Amino acid sequence: MSSAPAGARETVAACPACLSVDARPFTTTAAMMHASDERFSFVRCGGCGVVYLSPRVPAADLGDWYPPSYLPWRGPAAWGRWAPLVASGLRATDRRRVRRVQRYGSLGPASRVLDVGCGRPTFLRALVDETGCRAVGTDVSDEGWKGEHALARDLDLRTGELEEFAFDESFDLVTMWHYLEHDYAPHRTLRTVRALAAPGARLVIEVPDHDSWSRRRYGAEWAGYHTPRHTVLWDSASLGSALESAGWQVEAIEPVGSLDAWTLAWMSRQERRGIDWADSMEPHFAGFLAGRALLWPLMRAWERLRGRRGTGVLTAVARAATDGR
Ligand SMILES: [Zn+2]
pLDDT in tens, 304-324: 775 667 889 999 999 998 754
Percent of the chain with pLDDT over 70: 96
Please count the CA atoms within 13 angstroms of the CA of 285 that sit on its side-chain side: 16
**Residue 177 CB neighbours (<10 A):** 23
Domain residue ranges in the chain: 23-319
In CATH, 23-319 is 3.40.50.12780: no
Which has the higher per-residue pLDDT, 66 or 3?
Answer: 66
Q: Which amino acid is at 46?
A: G
pLDDT at residue 282 in the model:
96
Residues surrounding ion ligand 1 at CB below 5 Å: 15, 17-18, 20, 45, 47-48, 50
Torsion of CA 218, 221, 226, 230, to 10 degrees: 80
Query: Is the pLDDT reported for residue 1 higher than 50?
Result: no
Q: Compute, in angstroms, the gap from residue 226 CA to the centroid of ligand 1.
A: 20
| Total residues found in the chain within this entry | 325
Mean pLDDT (whole number) for 56-79: 90
Binned at pLDDT 50, 70 and 90, residue 262 comes out as confident
What is the 18 CA–ligand 1 centroid distance (Å)?
A: 4
Higher pLDDT, 298 or 191: 191
Instruction: Read off the pLDDT of each residue in 19-42 and give the average, rounded to a whole number.
Output: 95
Residue 72 confidence (pLDDT): 86
325 pLDDT more than 50? no
CA of 19 to the centre of ligand 1 (A): 6
Decide if pLDDT at 296 tops 80.
no
Query: Helices (DSSP H) in the chain: which residue ranges?
Result: 71-74, 83-102, 122-131, 149-152, 186-196, 213-218, 236-245, 261-273, 285-304
Closest CA to 288 of 314, 264, 313: 264
Provide the pLDDT confidence category of residue 35 given band limits of 50, 70 and 90: confident
Higher model confidence: residue 53 or residue 303?
53
Q: In what order do the strands lie in the sheet with 313-319?
A: 156-159, 134-139, 112-116, 171-177, 197-208, 313-319, 249-254
* 25 alpha carbon – ligand 1 mean position (Å): 14
Distance CA 97, CA 104 (A): 12
**Residue 283 carries which DSSP code?**
G
Distance between Cα 12 and ligand 1 center (Å): 12
Task: Assess whether pLDDT exceeds 90 at residue 131.
Answer: yes
Say how many Å lie between the CA of residue 45 and the centre of ligand 1.
Answer: 5
- In the three-class reduction of DSSP (H, G, I as helix; E, B as strand; rest coil), residue 314 is classed as strand
3 has pLDDT over 70: no
Measure 47 CA to ligand 1 centroid, in angstroms. Answer: 5
Mean pLDDT of the chain: 92
Average pLDDT over residues 70-99: 93
